[in-house]
Structure 1
Amino acid sequence: MSSVKLDLNSPALARKRKIRNLKDKVATHGIGIGGISVIMTIMLIFLYLLYEVAPMLKSASVEKIAEYDVPGLNSADKSTKTMYLATEEQAEIGMRLTVAGDVLFFNLKDGAIIETVSLLDGIDSQVSTVSEGRIGSRLLILGLENGQALLVKHKYNAEYDADGVRTLLPEVVYPYGEEPIDLLEEPIVSVAMNEDDENMVLVASGNSATAQIVHFEKEEDLFGDGYELERYDAPSFELSQRADFLVIDAEMDWLFSANKSGTMERFNIEDVDAVERFEVTRVVDKGESLTQFEPLLGGISILISDTAGRTAQWFMARDEEGTPQFMKVRAFEAEEDPQSIRLIATEERRKGFYTVDQNGVVSIYNTTAHRSLLEEKLVESHVDFMVVAPRANALLVETAAKLKVWEVENKHPEVSWSSLWHEVWYEDYDEPDYIWQSSAATNDFEPKMSLAPLAFGTIKAALYAMLFAIPLAICGAIYTAYFMAPEWRRKVKPVIELMEALPTVIIGFLAGLFLAPFIETNLSGVFTLLIVLPVGILLFGFAWANLPKSIRHRVPDGWDAALLIPVLLFLVWFSLALATPIELAFFGGDMRTWISHDLGISFDQRNALVVGIAMGFAVIPSIFSIAEDAIFSVPKHLSHGSLALGATPWQTLVRVVMPTASPGIFSAVMIGMGRAVGETMIVLMATGNTPVMDWNIFEGMRTLSANIAVEVAESEVHSTHYRVLFLAAFVLFMFTFVVNTIAELIRQRLRNKYGSL
């Protein structure tokens, strides 16, 4: 018999080997490039998020841009002394008010006088004190030495020529008339005012420690050019000491009177005919004197500085008994060599302020962030006045008959570690809390951008979703891979995996419009189902196991679970049918009302229970598919060997199959967790999007991803709000990265431990 020689070096085989080698190299390099591309993409996302977040970490900086003699100041003439200093919106024009009542508008770059307006023509008096109405209103009340007051407002109108060149035209207007208002019979030492659309309140005090309140009802005149005032003089009242400072709160309910000795008293002025005096409070440490007493933006907080170099923020809050108290909330102090605070200048649009001490050191702070942004010695001599431009981009200081102007770079002062992650005591709150409220209708608003409730909501939503999804997905994977008949498995597994193709926006839509009201209406039935369903399945299993073998063997192996389908449907119907009798018997006919009123637990229709069910439904296919593949891929000789040695199928599953498949099952759970953490549309549509920190299953939440989806389109590009949203995305990215890294380490340990089986 002749043998057939096989030529392995024939041209055809050599050509096939070359083609195969080429394919292997292309596949190897393609997979490598793809993997590197994924890693590079992730790194680019990381770097871009960091690029958007990094500017918030910068401190403030200043750069001197101008210095010149104080416009119109004559050192030999005290009537030219500055009483008030301001700048307009664009920080192009400055305004200076003198003792003689002259307003000088000047170019902020070089000090050239643009216009001079005399306010006291025909009035035989001088300005003794000046106070501003609401911060940023540009409305001034001038207290005069003859006991009168004058209300004026400085404005800046823009005109454009034929070439489109803009020119600012400053002017002084009298919104409430040019006639002075009689207040006292003595020179005014301190004066305060506040107003709303319908009312205005003025308070003045002199050396005699007597205060006079004047209330005006405002009515807009026929042509809309100003207001007509109807005056009402309230009875004067005695102060416990001379009022060096007066402040009226934003709601015109409280009057605060402070003395440089360091004490303050407050009065309730809601009823100007019956002013109620409250306690005298020492607002600085014993042995120190009060140097500044200025309202913060919004008129709710007051900044109090002393000779020890400290500035504290105080505002009204309720104590444990519910009584309104004037409380010290937080304090600010220079980090090096604190000195007596000379002046305070508040920002017009943010909760920030500037201080300058007796050595000329200027500090910039933000109250909400409780953050010091700058501490720098800018001048060598005594500072007489300091003002911040409306946009907080320029600083103007009068010192030694000179005006000095600095450009300020301070874009994101509201952000600090404490404001993002710690409890913050916000204005109008009675205690510190975690709050997310990034915007409001007024410029006086204090942004509340705590990421803590958003991170909490993310974890809460993911936890409830995983509590629903993990048992169903893992148990389903175990039965499908280990017990189910192959013919049935080939049908069931693709159907469950097909669920993953269902858009989450559809799931969220159905959860919000159908599932949430259904659960609310059938709340007792849902909880009854949680008890009846497992008990009913166990009872059916017990009954089936005790049936005669002749009956049980009629059902092919692996198909017996199909018998549970009608049982499940019956148990669901039975549980919902019991809802009404149970509510009538135990919950007074309405379980939701019983939960809210009798237990004191708040209930929202779109809550964590709805999110857990809806998002769990969306996560189940991911966990099921990976876990089922891991269990099915366990080598059959392991399970067959266990069974051959006398182990039962259940013992084989628990002691052989599950440990071997544990790395894959753990990966499935972690991937499902990542899906739940990053889910957006379901939590966006199935919850009330309320950023609260409460584990209550009947309350909603707001997650990091949903918050980004809701607010990023409305935020101003490169604003603090915009960058905090990117920080939220960065936190979500890092959370997922850390969780996946830990999961991979655990998975590798499980693989090394059980890989030898």
Structure 2
Amino acid sequence: MTDFRLPDLPSESASQRSLLPNAEQRKALRQKRARRDQYSRWGITASGFGVVIALLTIFVYLFYEVAPILKGATIEEDVQYSLSQTGLEDVEHLVLERYETLAIAYSPDGQVVVFDVANGAPEARFDVPKPEGSQFHSFFSAEAISATQVYGLDNGQAVVVRHGFDISFPNDQRQLTPKLEFPLGESAITIDDQGQPLKLISMETQTRGRNASAIAALTEDNRLLLASLTGRENLLTGQVQITRQVTELPAPPGGTGDISKLMVDKALRSLFALDEDGRVHYYDISNPAEARLVESVDVGGGNEVSASAFLVGGVSLIFGNDAGELSQWFLVRDDQNQYRLEEIRSFRSHKAAIREITPEYTRKGFIAVDADGQIGVHYGTSSRTLYLDSHADVPIEEMAISQINTRLLWLDQDNQLVSAELWNEHPQLSWAAMWNKVWYEGREDPEYIWQSSSATDEFESKFSLVPLSVGTLKAAFYAMLFAMPLAIAGAIYTAYFMTPKLRGVVKPSIEIMEALPTVILGFLAGLWLAPFVENELPAVFSFLILMPVVMILFAFAWSKLPTRWRLLVPEGWEAAALVPVILIFGTLCLQASPWMEVWFFGGSMRQWFTDIGINYDQRNALIVGIAMGFAVIPTIFSIAEDAVFTVPRHLTQGSLALGATRWQTMIGVVLPTASPGIFSAVMMGFGRAVGETMIVLMATGNSPVVNFNIFEGMRTLSANIAVELPETAVGSSHFRVLFLAALVLLALTFIVNTLAEIIRQRLRQRYSSL
């Protein structure tokens, strides 16, 4: 029997043994390694917590900026004194000036007193001129921002006055000098040629485009008159020449005897006569000579209307009844192109009859006071009641609000004047107004609208986040619709079927696309791709729809070629043979595009879309889908390709050894195993598309519309923030809404990524047994 012996190993020399660590040194090395492992665990854990804390900090900061939106209004009284300190015994109307230091009081007998808000001390006194022997008989205050009042006389005439202030800065201190102006001249204007007393009067002035005014009056003998006035100032003498046209209006049903208030809108197109039964009679006075009664509407709900006012702009009417109910109405055009008065919304009710309604100067809000001394702060568009509390034991008779909406001044039945600080910064914002349809003035129906700025003073900001959220999802949807098939199919082919040499060229080439600045893609999409697609619509659709068919036909034809021909192309290089086919077919589509427009679309495919009712914007979702798709493809491709390529080889080799084809192995083994990585790639691409800014900013037209029409543009949350945040005032409602949009965007991506991670882990557990 042969004796097999292992060769003797060379023994360690003494010098070599001296280099090896002894027991104590090995123990020290183990302790050092353990410390390093511990430090690494601590560092990784701290970094993880740091990421979480950073994310929470972003959430907290965004919510800190958004939180004031949720806050209501507050009223804090700070000064109270008797009306007698101003030198008046009775007040018809109160006004607070812009800087909240002076107030103006109009008395029924034609006295105008300007006094200090802090202590009631008179600063100036004016007497409204009237013809000798006449007396003041009625009073009306026009829209607050116009600072215009009208007195009706007992001789059928009217006097129009307007208060104002000259501002100077002696010794660098602001000084306000009150003044009383007469926009239609100091002479009284004859309204009733018969000289009957004017027991009710109303007035409004239109200064945009023409210097025109309208005065409506109800005479003592119950005739309803409308005076149309046009003023022209002589540039040399300064005198105002008035052109007057007086029309007697038809009496409403039941006569004019029970009319309690007249209201003319700012456009001088409508007159509303309110009667004691809670009905409003709507007159169309756009052509005064042919003025007509349009309709009579019950706005009191069976109760007497105790107070009414126009909101700023003279479109919406607010009615308060003796049951404490408040409602907003305005004219809506019906199917017959006729305007009808319609109730739009209601507000939280007071406990007693509404005594006074004071609109804000520049917003669609108003202050309502009732017979129990309650003060309510309401806002029209958002349908919010921001404050409702009692501030007096007796009814409040008059209320004034400053032009900047930060101070109130009211007079109660005991002739006590009270000044109070008002905080009411964001009344137009509410969750309902930002996420539900809102019925805005001048609209036929409730709508989702984002419109943050306008040129008019009475503009109503529209802050619906629905168009922006829909636009964000729309842009991401079409980008993913374009990118997902190309990226995932390309990743599968590159990782599993392509030869390593060709893969070494293709994969880095696609991944380097991710380094291309998105502003360049947006620039190309907006200035080159959008006009190109518009001019070559048949070619684009032919390419997008027919190219997959051509590729399938090429694959079928390739499979039918003789084997010796197919072997001329090495395995894994078949994709190279497809490149000429794609180029040739694309060229044919472009060459045939003009002929297809003539044959099938009457010479213009875009016009054909318009004729069948489809709007086509040059910068639309199709352009965004293509441009953003190219930005998203590298992200999805890279992650998905790595997931497919790293599938263990023993799984694929085992499947092939059992007789499965390469495609069967791909579908049954590779895809299930790589599905968590592919799903992660898709979610990463979706998050990339949701947060994209520059491409959608430059290639969408930025129209905040609510639809998924591929031929119309959109506005996304990120693009909206980028466009409007630099222009907004810090701390304004617009500023807060933009931060809310950022919070919504962050929450959306956080939720999507969280769900994606949960699904990825479940897929990983499901296919881990492979």
Equivalence for 1:87: 96
Shift of 1:754: 0.7
Question: Which residue of 2 is the match for residue 277 of structure 1?
Answer: 293
SS in structure 2 opposite 1:179? coil
Q: Determine helix, strand or coil for the equivalent of 1:52.
A: helix
Question: 1:525 corresponds to which residue?
Answer: 539
Is the aligned partner of 1:477 residue 2:491? Answer: yes
Residue 393 (structure 1) aligned with residue 402 (structure 2) = no
Q: Indicate which of 344, 356, 363 corresponds to 1:350.
A: 363
Q: How many residues are paired up?
A: 748
Alignment-derived partner of residue 204 in structure 2: 194
* 1:685 maps to amino acid: M
Worse-matched range after superposition: 276-285 or 27-36: 27-36
1:419 matched to 2:433? The reply is yes
Moved more, 435-444 or 169-178: 169-178
How do 1:120-519 residues align onto structure 2 when only pairs under 5 Å count? 120=129, 123-162=132-171, 164-184=172-192, 185-197=195-207, 198=210, 199-222=212-235, 227-235=240-248, 237-239=250-252, 240-242=255-257, 243-286=259-302, 288-334=303-349, 338-399=351-412, 400-519=414-533
SS at match of 1:217: strand
Report the secondary structure of 1:693's partner residue.
Answer: coil
Contact 2:249 2:292 in 1 (8 A): no
Distance 1:539 1:605 in 2: 33
Farther off after superposition, 185-194 or 148-157: 185-194
CA displacement 1:382-425 (0-9 Å, x = unmatched): 22211212111111111111111111111110011111000000
How far apart are 1:23 and its partner, in Å? Answer: 6.0
SS in 2 for 1:279: strand
Q: Which runs of 5+ in 2 are unaligned?
A: 1-7
Conserved in 1, the CA contact under 8 Å of 2:63 and 2:743? yes
Q: Is the 8 A contact 1:136 1:348 kept in 2?
A: yes
Equivalent residue letter for 2:67 = A
The Cα shift of 1:237 comes to 4.4
Is this contact kept in 1: 2:323–2:351, CA < 8 A?
yes
Q: Structure 1 residues 9, 214: closer, same or farther in 2, change over 3 A?
A: same
Correspondent of 2:630 among 613, 617, 620: 617
Indicate conservation of the 8 Å contact 1:611/1:686, yes or no: yes
Aligned partners of 1:224, 1:553: CA distance in 2, in Å?
A: 103
User: What is the alpha-carbon distance in structure 1 between the residues aligned to residue 536 and residue 351 of structure 2?
Assistant: 65
697-706 or 168-177, which deviates more: 168-177
Find the aligned partners of 1:549 and 1:576 in 2 and give their Cα distance. 34
Q: CA deviation at 1:305?
A: 1.2
TM-superposed CA distance for 1:319, in Å, is 2.0
Check whether the contact 1:269–1:276 (CA below 8 A) recurs between aligned residues.
Answer: yes
Contact 1:301 1:313 (C-alpha < 8 Å) held by counterparts: yes
Asked if the contact 1:264/1:283 (under 8 Å) is kept, the reply is yes
Q: 1:505 deviation in Å?
A: 0.6
**Equivalent-residue separation in structure 1 for 2:238 and 2:733 (angstroms):** 37
Deviation string, structure 1 residues 658-690 (Cα, Å, up to 9, x no partner): 111111111110010001001111111001111
Q: How does 1:605-684 map to 2 (within 5 A)?
A: 605-684=618-697
Look up the match of 2:4.
Answer: none
What's the CA shift string for 1:551-607, capped at 9, x where partnerless? Answer: 11121111111101101111111222222222212111111101101x111110000
Residue 696 (1) aligns with residue 709 (2): yes
Contact 2:130 2:159 in 1 (8 A): no
| Alignment equivalent of 2:21, drawn from 6, 9, 13 | 9
TM-score (norm 2): 0.94
- Mapped contact 2:86–2:115 kept (Cα < 8 A): no
Name the aligned partner's letter for residue 244 of structure 1: S
> CA distance change for structure 1 residues 83 and 627 in 2, over 3 Å: closer, same or farther?
same
Structure 2 CA distance for aligned equivalents of residues 721 and 710 of structure 1:
12
| Structure 1 residue 446, shift from structure 2 partner | 0.8
Kindly state the Cα deviation for residue 176 of structure 1 after the two structures are TM-superposed: 2.2
Partner in structure 2 of residue 47 of structure 1: 60
Aligned-pair CA distance for 1:125: 3.5
Counterpart code for 1:4: S
Q: Report Cα offsets for 1:153-208 as digits up to 9, x if no partner.
A: 1112222222x222222121222211111113222222222222322222211243
* Residues 33 and 224 of structure 1, relative CA distance in 2, 3 Å threshold: farther
Deviation per residue, 1:83-128 (Å, 9 max, x gap)? 1111101111111111221111111011111111111366433433
Contact 1:129 1:144 in 2 (8 A): yes
Tell whether the 8 Å contact from 1:104 to 1:115 is kept in structure 2 after alignment.
yes
Match of 2:109 in 1: 100
Cα offset for 1:29?
4.3
Q: Which runs of 5+ in 1 are unaligned?
A: none
Percent identity over paired residues: 43
> Which shows bigger deviation, 134-143 or 90-99?
134-143
Q: Could you tell which deviates more after superposition, 412-421 or 171-180?
A: 171-180
Could you list the per-position Cα deviations for residues 109-150 of structure 1 after superposition, in whole angstroms to 9, with x for gaps in the alignment? 111111111113664334333223333111111222332211
Give the stretch that moved more between structures: 127-136 or 12-21. Answer: 12-21
SS of the residue 1:38 aligns to: helix
Distance between the aligned counterparts of 2:642 and 2:32, measured in 1? 33
CA distance, structure 2, for counterparts of residue 126 and residue 9 of structure 1: 117
Instruction: Name the stretch that deviates more: 422-431 or 178-187.
Output: 178-187
The amino acid of 2:457's aligned partner reads N
